[in-house]
Amino acid sequence: MQATESTSTAEKLERLRVASLDEILGVPFKVLDDGFVRVIDYMGSDESIVQAARVSYGKGTKKVHEDRGLIRYLMRHWHTTPFEMCELKLHVRVPMDCWRQWIRHRMANVNEYSTRYSVAIDATQTTAPDEWRLQAQGNRQGSAGFLDPETGGRLTDEERRLQEESRRIYEERLAKGVAREQARKDLPLSTYTEAYWKIDLHNLFHFLHLRMDDHAQYEIRKYSEVIGYDIVSKWCPIAWQAFLDYRFKAKSFSSIEFEIVKHIAAGNPDAAISTAISLGLLPADRKELKRNREREELEEKLEQMNLPIPWRT
């Protein structure tokens, strides 16, 4: 078969490099007490997003937007495929309970350290006396505030004894010849695991959106913040800023919320209340204000915008 273009006439392409990311290649960013995230490899940059978008708009398209404007347009309008042109490969060290949440993100490529094949990593995540979080009352999945450090100190001692004992039993099983795949079964979830994790920028933004959020568990939030603020910000700074502006820090309004906000902004609290009642956010008699998540989330947004909450006055 004949090549369509000879090597001599083919366009010579330079591999895209991002100097600020090259500088931190392989450098571990510490997370929690013994975890880390480090960049192993990457493909693409802000430039690749622009390049992919321009291809999809057709060869004849003129350079209408500046790169920044185009990337921000793509982000605003959920034109997501150009972001998939960028790939990031990380090496992560994470406690197993945190990894269990992490691995739920299916749109990534993963290879994890095998405790069938190798002896489990001899490191567990430990909790300092002032780091024991209390169960949140309003949110069954969350925590709020801390245990007093004296009680925390006792829990930390217990934690250490438990982790040491389970490690001792694990190693005893191995010494007696038990298979690694079975010996590991009683290791605590605080045991660190390691993995290579590769993901494209679109799916990484999805991950970061969910896991940098206040509702995500503290531990995975710490990893996500490092990936976002220390790595993605250096790798694709324009896309990162667009993500912060239009996704992560953006506020969205349902059509119901939008109607209510319009009435409040027009100085018409009675209309806002009637709308809230007619759309089920408030009970008709307003006497017994039962918990309503949708209403509470709207109230939070109103507070953030310094707008009055008409049914509270």
Ligand X SMILES: Cc1cc2nc3c(=O)[nH]c(=O)nc-3n(C[C@H](O)[C@H](O)[C@H](O)COP(=O)(O)OP(=O)(O)OC[C@H]3O[C@@H](n4cnc5c(N)ncnc54)[C@H](O)[C@@H]3O)c2cc1C
Footprint on this chain of ligand X (rule: CB under 6 A): 104-107, 141, 203, 206, 210, 215-216
The smaller minimum CB distance to ligand X, of residues 210 and 309, is found at 210
Q: Which residue is nearest to ligand X (CB)?
A: 106
CB of 100: closest distance to ligand X in angstroms? 10
Q: Is 146 helix (H, G, I), strand (E, B) or coil?
A: strand
Q: How far apart are CA 14 and CA 156, in angstroms?
A: 54
Q: Choose, from 154, 211, 286, 291, the residue flagged as catalytic.
A: 211
**Whole-number Cα distances in Å, 267 to 2, 256, 270, 278, 312:** 74, 17, 9, 19, 15
CB of 189: closest distance to ligand X in angstroms? 16
Question: Greatest CA span in the chain, whole angstroms?
Answer: 82
The smaller minimum CB distance to ligand X, of residues 30 and 215, is found at 215
Tokens of 185: 């079964």
- Non-local (6+) Cβ contacts of 229 within 8 A are none
Q: How far apart are CA 6 and CA 15, in angstroms?
A: 20
The smaller minimum CB distance to ligand X, of residues 65 and 105, is found at 105
Residue spans of beta strands (DSSP E) within 253-294: none
CB of 131: closest distance to ligand X in angstroms? 20
The smaller minimum CB distance to ligand X, of residues 99 and 170, is found at 99
Q: Is 35 helix (H, G, I), strand (E, B) or coil?
A: strand
CB of 297: closest distance to ligand X in angstroms? 14
The smaller minimum CB distance to ligand X, of residues 158 and 297, is found at 297
CB of 234: closest distance to ligand X in angstroms? 23
The smaller minimum CB distance to ligand X, of residues 141 and 313, is found at 141
- Tell me which residue of 99, 98, 87 sits closest to 195, measured CA to CA: 99
In degrees rounded to 5, what are phi and psi of residue 167? -65, -40
In degrees rounded to 5, what are phi and psi of residue 162? -65, -45
Q: Are residues 263 and 269 in contact, defined by beta-carbon separation less than 8 angstroms? A: yes
CB of 217: closest distance to ligand X in angstroms? 7
184 is catalytic: no
- Where residue 177 falls (left for φ over 0; alpha for ψ -120 to 50; beta otherwise) is left
Catalytic center residues: 211
